[in-house]
Amino acid sequence: MLRILLATFVSWTGLRLTEVALPLIALQQTGSVWTTGLVAGSSGIPLLTSPWWAARLRHRLTSGPALAAVLVVQVLGYLTVAVAAALNSLTIVHLCLGGLIVGAATSLGGPATRAMLADLGDRIGPGVAVRALAWQDLAHRISMVASPPVAAWVVTQHGAMPLMWADSIAVLLAAALVAMVGRYAVRRGPAAAVPRRAREVLRAHPLVADGIAMAAVGWYWWFAFSLGLAVLGAETGRPGQLIAAGMAGYGVGSLAGSGAAPLAVTRLPRVPTMVTGWIVLGTAFSLLPWLDDSLLALGLVAAVGGFVMPFGLAALNALIAEHTSGEERRTAFAAQHVAGNGGSSIGMLSGGAVIALLGAENTMHVAGAVLIAVPAVLVARTVLRARRQDAPGTALAGEAPPPRERADSPSGAPSAG
């Protein structure tokens, strides 16, 4: 498990380092501004289409070596861009091809890594899977906060080119780490069996479906914060200041929250924690436009929103880990991956048009209202669903984790976590 967590941190650190350098190299060698986002844009295509092509492949990732092979494919995508850049021959074709390869690999590898952590945690003991997933989120956030300053220093001292190799080296090291993890998923169907579709899994686990729906809506409206503050700063004569204060506050708050979440997540109620997180973030979004005259107050409110989010994510991961196993678990984590990243990508693509239509301040108010309303509606629907149960006191489907068999039982199902 420690190898997987370390691999997560190493691979994400390399990715964040290269993210700083790639736009600079792309602009320098292609001379076109629009090419600076081609890798990220192209990688979204396999992600958004993964429900149609990735299901069978995803359910074969049941061991460390299999996951390591996916990471090696991801390295090939990075090398497609890095080698061309080193030869000073980077083109749009290299950027798009590299993005497609990386997107396909991460669409498989991201959910598989979380499923691996959860399955290993189930074998170790109760609550370990939930805490391990929270520690993984902490590793992500540390890399997000620590890598950009390091990358900026390298660029100023040595140029952007050395960072083009960072993601390739980091992900290759991550592959070496996870390759030493043995087979961990022991509940498997026949090799030729068709895995259950995501909507079938989510229909069977309505609370998991509600949590993923909240995440999809929340990450779609993320642009209201990132783009909205940038535009609002320019409109109020403080270009760059509002977004810098907001991002700094959110980053510090989320880092603090992700450090506390692994210690508390096993004691927190799942659904109330998720709902509270999104409502607090929505309230923060609504308040930020009224605080544009005080960078300190704006940063503090953003920090509060950032602090609660790791708890909500940990609660959603806990729901998935506790209510699913085997192929269902990998499908649920894949649905979460597509909903979060896909929602964010669509939001960033459409966000500019929404801000142009409504204005930055109104967009942030609308985003806040939506983030508050959607969890409330989902909770109300859950309450009504519970009241419609035939037998009073019958647990709502998906509220109680299904009983697990021991890992050494004949069926080989992982023990309860």
d(CA 120, CA 123): 5
The two three-digit tokens of residue 127, written as one number: 């609550």
User: What is the mean pLDDT of the segment spanning 19-29?
Assistant: 80
Check whether 408 has a pLDDT greater than 50: no
Q: Which residues contact 48 (CB under 8 A, 6 or more apart)?
A: 338, 342, 345
Residue 275's domain spans which residues? 196-397
Q: If DSSP codes are grouped into helix, strand and coil, which group holds residue 398?
A: coil
Check whether 178 has a pLDDT greater than 80: yes
d(CA 272, CA 285): 20
How many structural domains does the chain have? 2
User: What is the mean pLDDT of the segment spanning 56-80?
Assistant: 88
- Measure the CA angle with vertex 382, ends 204 and 225; round to 5°: 100
pLDDT tier at 33 (50, 70, 90 boundaries)?
low
Q: What is the CATH number of the domain that holds 316?
A: 1.20.1250.20
Amino acid, single-letter form, for residue 23? P
pLDDT in tens, 98-131: 889 988 998 898 888 888 888 888 888 888 889 9
Given a contact cutoff of 8 angstroms between Cβ atoms, the answer to whether 325 and 122 are in contact is yes
Compute the CA torsion angle 128, 58, 325, 120 (nearest 10 deg): -30
174 shares a domain with 37: yes
pLDDT tier at 53 (50, 70, 90 boundaries)?
confident
| Beta pairing partners, 183 | 63
User: What is the mean pLDDT of the segment spanning 315-330?
Assistant: 89
- Tell me which of 80 and 51 has the higher pLDDT: 80
First to last CA, the chain: 15
d(CA 330, CA 341): 16
d(CA 416, CA 121): 9
- Domain-embedded: residue 160: yes
- Domain-embedded: residue 413: no
350 shares a domain with 205: yes
263 shares a domain with 159: no
137 shares a domain with 72: yes
b vs e for 301-319, b when ≥16 Cβ sit within 10 Å of the residue's Cβ?
A: bbbbbbbbbbbbbbbbbbb
Q: If DSSP codes are grouped into helix, strand and coil, which group holds residue 292?
A: coil
| Beta pairing partners, 371 | none
Check whether 315 has a pLDDT greater than 50: yes
Check whether 72 has a pLDDT greater than 90: yes
DSSP type of residue 63: B
245 shares a domain with 204: yes
d(CA 147, CA 151): 6
d(CA 228, CA 360): 5
Q: What whole-number percentage of the chain has pLDDT above 70?
A: 89
Q: What whole-number percentage of the chain has pLDDT above 90?
A: 31
240 shares a domain with 387: yes
Check whether 160 has a pLDDT greater than 90: no
Check whether 41 has a pLDDT greater than 60: yes
Amino acid, single-letter form, for residue 262? P
Check whether 149 has a pLDDT greater than 90: no
132 shares a domain with 218: no
- Domain-embedded: residue 293: yes
- Domain-embedded: residue 410: no
pLDDT in tens, 344-399: 888 877 888 899 899 999 999 999 999 999 998 888 887 787 777 655 554 444 44
272 shares a domain with 351: yes
Check whether 187 has a pLDDT greater than 70: no
- Measure the CA angle with vertex 178, ends 270 and 405; round to 5°: 50
184 shares a domain with 111: yes
7 shares a domain with 153: yes
d(CA 254, CA 141): 7
User: What is the mean pLDDT of the segment spanning 204-233?
Assistant: 90
b vs e for 253-272, b when ≥16 Cβ sit within 10 Å of the residue's Cβ?
A: bbbebbebbbeebeebebbe
Helix axis angle for 295-323 and 270-287, nearest 10°, is: 160
At residue 182, the pLDDT reads 66
Residue 246 C-beta-side C-alpha neighbours within 13 Å:
28
Whole-number average pLDDT of the chain: 83
pLDDT tier at 184 (50, 70, 90 boundaries)?
low
pLDDT tier at 36 (50, 70, 90 boundaries)?
low
234 shares a domain with 324: yes
- Domain-embedded: residue 187: yes
243 shares a domain with 380: yes
When computed from its CA atoms, the radius of gyration of the chain, rounded to whole angstroms, is 22
Helix axis angle for 92-124 and 295-323, nearest 10°, is: 60
